[in-house]
Amino acid sequence: MTNHPPYSVVLTYIEDRQEFAVQAIDRARLGPVVAGTLEVPILLDEHNFRLDDAFARRLGAAMLSLIALGQPDIRKYMSVTEDPID
């Protein structure tokens, strides 16, 4: 297995092509770019350290909702539930 250094994942919605781009970037290179920007901590202990399907769904819904704040036209494609599903 290849050994990867720690990196961050950047999700970008490219509106004119109607596609998402996912990029992995070295944390050290990204640090200066994100300094002073909105940061929303997601505490693992609040999710009992379970990175399961429910966690992934809520994380994805949060990412889409955040993108939609700056690019509201994407909302017409969204039909996600942000709250937990029982």
pLDDT (tens digit per residue) in 39-56: 989 999 999 999 999 899
Residue 34 in tokens = 């994100």
Alpha carbons within 13 angstroms on the beta-carbon side of residue 40 total 5
Residue 57 has pLDDT above 80, yes or no: yes
What lies within 8 Å, CB to CB, of 64 at 6+ separation is 74, 78, 80
Alpha carbons within 13 angstroms on the beta-carbon side of residue 45 total 0
Strand partners, 25: 8
Q: What is the pTM of this model?
A: 0.82
pLDDT at 83: 67
